[in-house]
Amino acid sequence: MSHVLIWGKNKDKISTDEWGRRIRELPPGKIRGRIARIVRWDFFGNLPADSQQNVLADLIAQDNKSEELDQKLLVDALVQIGYPEKVAIQRIAPKNRANKYTKSVREIDSLRRSVGEEALLYAVAETAVNDIKVLREKGIIVGYGEVAENWPPPNTNPVVGYSSRAEVQSLIAWVKNGSMISLCESLGLDLVENQILESIGFSAQVA
């Protein structure tokens, strides 16, 4: 059964149980687990890291996240549970998590965006802020936006997808140098930059 999802503020009103019900309508197998992992990241990524682990955990346990799965099947599954097709395609397209924050705002602004694409770009900014909060909670980001000197120690597991100093530094730079703010403003969002930087413990002054 296909669902229609209003991709905007109302998308966040879908409950965990409803997401689980939709995902269980997908054919049994690895796709279910991967889709559950994506939904948890997209819709519950603002929860504290420990709480996130409980969301859709039984479905996600079926997924080996290091295994490559058929991209078309993943896109089709996201569409089936309610993602707009354009968002589903962009969500599954291969990308480097750290590099998405270094993509120039000028290049992003050159795109003709649909409503779904604008929501996706805003989600990138929201995810960046949430990542910073988790990295700060774990003691990886310290001060006004620096990486802790002793991180990462040998054999460190990734934290919200980050496993190297360069990746974390790239994230910090993208937020602190104004690129994130410029991106959000290009979407017509009314933001108070100082309040955003203060909320994640960064100085209001651009480094």
Least confident range from 89-93, 116-120, 127-131: namely 116-120
Please tell me whether residues 84 and 123 are part of one structural domain.
Answer: no
pTM given for the model: 0.45
Please tell me whether residues 116 and 39 are part of one structural domain.
Answer: no
Distance (Å, rounded) from C-alpha 202 to C-alpha 15? 32
Give the pair of three-digit tokens for residue 109: 């602004």
User: Is 132 in contact with 172 (CB distance < 8 Å)?
Assistant: yes
Question: Residue 147, CB half-sphere, CA atoms under 13 Å: how many?
Answer: 16
Give the model's confidence band at 140: pLDDT under 50 very low, under 70 low, under 90 confident, else very high: very high
Q: CA-based Rg of the chain, rounded to a whole angstrom?
A: 18
Task: Judge if the upstream peptide bond of residue 152 is cis by omega within 30 degrees of 0.
Answer: yes
pLDDT for residue 185 is more than 90: no
Please tell me whether residues 104 and 168 are part of one structural domain.
Answer: yes
Average pLDDT, integer, range 104-132? 61
Distance (Å, rounded) from C-alpha 165 to C-alpha 169? 6
pLDDT for residue 67 is more than 70: yes
Give the model's confidence band at 190: pLDDT under 50 very low, under 70 low, under 90 confident, else very high: low
pLDDT at 148: 93
Please tell me whether residues 122 and 36 are part of one structural domain.
Answer: no
User: Is 97 in contact with 164 (CB distance < 8 Å)?
Assistant: no
Choosing from 61, 92, 123, the residue where a domain stops is 92
The helices-and-strands tally (H runs, E runs) of the chain is 11, 2
Please tell me whether residues 22 and 70 are part of one structural domain.
Answer: yes
pLDDT for residue 81 is more than 70: yes
Please tell me whether residues 109 and 192 are part of one structural domain.
Answer: yes
Residues contacting residue 166 through CB under 8 Å, at least 6 positions apart? 98
Task: Name the DSSP letter for residue 65.
Answer: T
Give the model's confidence band at 25: pLDDT under 50 very low, under 70 low, under 90 confident, else very high: very high
Domain that residue 71 falls in = 9-92
Three-state secondary structure string covering 131-163: HHHHHHHCCCEECCCEECCCCCCCCCCCECCEC
Number of domains in the chain: 2
Please tell me whether residues 106 and 78 are part of one structural domain.
Answer: no
- For residue 164, is it within any domain? yes
- For residue 207, is it within any domain? no
